[in-house]
Each structure stands twice: as C-alpha cells, then as structure tokens.
Amino acid sequence: MVSLRRLLPLCLAAALLAFLPGCETDGVTGTNPEIPAAVTASAQLRPGDSLTVTLQGVPDPSINPVQIDDRGTITLPYIGIMSTAGTTPGDLAQRIRETYLAKKIYRTVDVSVSVTERYVYVGGEVARPGRIVWTPDLTVSKAIQSAGGFTLYAKETKVNLMREQKAYDVNITLAQKNPAQDIHLMPGDSVQVPRSPF
C-alpha cells in the first residue's frame, strides 16, 4: 500500500502541471488542432450540392438536375419541394420514391440520386475568393492554392476553418512544412484567410 507521504508529492506535482500556462508556438513548430470529421460528413447531403435525380420504370422517365438550396430543399416534378436535411443520396432516393408512390403519381418507380458537384468556400486574403469543387483529397492548403494563393497581407499562421458551426485555426505555414498537418476538407467547409496586422 502506498503511503500518504509518498502520494502527497505526486498529487502536488500533478496539480502544479495543471495550472501551468500552455506553451506558445513560434508559428512553424507544433501541431494543428485535431479537427473532428463527422463519420457521415462526406456522405450527407448539404446546401449547395448539385444532384442528379433519375426516375425510371415510369411512362415519362426523366433525369432531373437539381441543386440543394440554402434551406436544404430541392424541387421535383409533380411532388414539388422536398427536404434533404440530414440525408444521404440513398436515403433521399428512397424518400422520393415513397413520396411518388404515396401521392399515387406512379404505381412503380425506380429512383436514383447521385451527387454531381460539392463545394467548399474560400474567402478573405486570397487572390480569387469563391467556391471550389470539393474532392476527397482536398486540403486547406490545396483549397487556398486553388483560390490563387495568399495575398501579400494574408496571415498564413491563423487561417480560420468553419465546419458544422464550429471554428478552428489552422497554421498553413506548418502544414506546408509537414503535409501530415494539412487538414482534409469536407463538403460545405468554409476557409477564411484573415488579414495580418503587419
């Protein structure tokens, strides 16, 4: 059994470490924050996604290009506005099929939904701010390069990444020196490059 005399110094040391301030980085060393990626983030549909909704097995088969609007809805023939919130392409295809059947528009219908384009948004101190087509290998630094690179006034060590209503700071100088620190983007992410005060 550990004596109280031996345990007390360990407890004091642990308490002292808890109150010490965090170490500052020089802007190049250290690590970028752990940014959580939702497991379903790349599969879930989001505003801005371009989709193709195909209806087959019906008298008037059609291919319908649609884009999810800011409210998370699309508009389809005969059934009108439909919510896509929190769905995957497979879930949405099933919901569309069930809606056509429930409204007795068709007795049988095959529905498929495919995503044609997804985007991330890059703004602030970059040469060409705007939206960029998302690909699975897109990282923060690649998105900035696609937007024409940093301007002369960019603060490269504190780029802001917005993901699912949360903000994270990303050090691009660090990411360029160590590609393992370059954060992979998800559809709908927004990258904002702030202006340096100097």
pLDDT digits (tens, 9 = 90+) for 53-102: 999 999 889 999 999 998 999 999 999 999 997 899 999 999 999 999 99
pLDDT digits (tens, 9 = 90+) for 104-161: 999 999 999 999 888 999 999 999 999 999 988 999 999 999 999 999 999 999 999 9
Query: Where residue 105 sits, what CATH number does that domain have?
Result: 3.30.1950.10
Of 34 and 87, the structure prediction assigns the larger pLDDT to 87
Q: How many domains does the chain have?
A: 2
Q: Enumerate long-range contacts of 165-174, CB under 8 Å, 24 or more apart.
A: 168/33, 168/35, 169/33, 170/32, 170/33, 170/35, 170/140, 171/25, 171/27, 171/28, 171/30, 171/32, 172/140, 172/141, 172/144, 173/27, 173/28, 174/27, 174/28, 174/29, 174/30, 174/31, 174/32
Say whether pLDDT at 26 is over 70.
Answer: no
**pTM, to two decimals:** 0.65
Say whether pLDDT at 36 is over 50.
Answer: yes
In terms of domains, do 93 and 123 share one? no
In a domain, 193, yes or no: yes
Residues of the domain holding 157: 119-198
